[in-house]
Amino acid sequence: MLKKIIVVSMLFSTAAHAKFIHPMDFDGSEAQKQEVIEYIKANVKKDYCDQLGICQAYDLRMMEQENLNAFKKATKAKNRKIMDQVINDYCNSVLDMCDYSDIQMMYEENIKADNEELSW
């Protein structure tokens, strides 16, 4: 019984303390994979359950999967400067929109904008 309590408390403490992994620093290790999953779960729960009151299992799993897919795509990013700026803007500001879906979407939009020229 004590083992179960310890394991459950470790799982909850891991989720509460899961840290953001920069997609371009991801090394593919099992430890980092678990950290990304725990960060996504905690972040989705905070955004959807705590802030929006949408806490149905289906919705949470769908958003978790969307974030995981975005993270995987972001690991293939090539422009570190743009990725760092997007992460800084969305994770280290008052916006508090530090989820991988937003980061990946804004990275792609900034890559497009960086390559566009103003025209009539």
CA distance 14 to 35: 8
Contact 74, 83 (CB under 8 A): yes
Domain assignment present for residue 4? The answer is: no
Q: How confident is the model over 92-118, as pLDDT tens digits?
A: 877 778 999 999 999 999 999 988 887
Q: pLDDT class for 17, splitting at 50, 70, 90?
A: low
Domain assignment present for residue 3? The answer is: no
- Which stretches of the chain are DSSP H helices? 2-17, 30-44, 57-74, 80-91, 100-115
Candidates 46, 38, 32; CA nearest to 14 is 38
Domain assignment present for residue 30? The answer is: yes
Domain assignment present for residue 43? The answer is: yes
Give percent above pLDDT 90 in the chain.
Answer: 73
Contact 68, 39 (CB under 8 A): no
CA distance 32 to 21: 8
Range of the domain at 95: 12-115
Domain assignment present for residue 5? The answer is: no
Q: What per-residue confidence (pLDDT) applies to 75?
A: 98
Q: Is the pTM of this model over 0.75?
A: yes
Tell me: pLDDT of 119 over 50: yes
